[in-house]
């Protein structure tokens, strides 16, 4: 993880963390990388004998990169300051399967911000091939007790 963007900046943790490395970050854009570990438990059931990363997890890769981008703007998230929560998913498109061992490069751009609401666009690629593109919105909300 890039030392300027610590893991503690977002609330995600293994085994549900889909960022291995921050490649680049600025005010409105982040690039991350995640390698689909062939030992990940979801591969056993999706699809047995022909494992593929579920599309929802490809979207999650974009959501987590977006949360990390926003964390760089706000100095991290904690329960008092609020946590990032996806509020809308628009136009998710899948172009290429992501297989065990593939390295997914995710680019997320902050398109718009209004108070605590943010519109972002994410793209995940394996090499030069687009795997997922998703537009989404999230909000920073106060953490509630379970």
Q: Which two tokens stand for residue 69?
A: 């981008």
Could you tell me the two tokens for 15? 């085994």
In terms of Cα–Cα distance, which of 144, 7, 141 is closest to 72? 7
Instruction: Give the gyration radius of the chain's Cα atoms.
Output: 15
46 catalytic? Reply is yes
Set 12, 29, 33, 46: catalytic member: 46
Beta strands in 39-146 (DSSP E): 83-94, 103-114, 117-126, 129-141
Catalytic positions: 46
């Amino acid at each position: 993880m890039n030392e300027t963007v610590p893991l503690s900046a977002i609330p995600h943790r293994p085994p549900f963390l889909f960022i291995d490395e921050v490649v680049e970050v600025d005010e409105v854009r982040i690039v991350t990388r995640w390698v689909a570990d062939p030992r990940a438990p979801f591969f056993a059931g999706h699809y047995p004998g022909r494992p593929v990363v579920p599309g929802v997890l490809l979207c999650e890769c974009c959501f987590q990169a977006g949360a990390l981008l926003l964390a760089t703007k706000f100095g991290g998230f904690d329960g008092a300051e609020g946590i990032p929560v996806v509020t809308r998913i628009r136009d998710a498109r899948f172009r290429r399967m992501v297989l065990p061992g593939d390295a997914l490069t995710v680019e997320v751009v902050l398109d718009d911000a209004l108070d605590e609401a943010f519109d972002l666009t994410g793209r995940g690629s394996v090499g030069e091939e687009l795997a997922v593109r998703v537009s989404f919105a999230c909000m920073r909300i106060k953490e509630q007790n379970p």
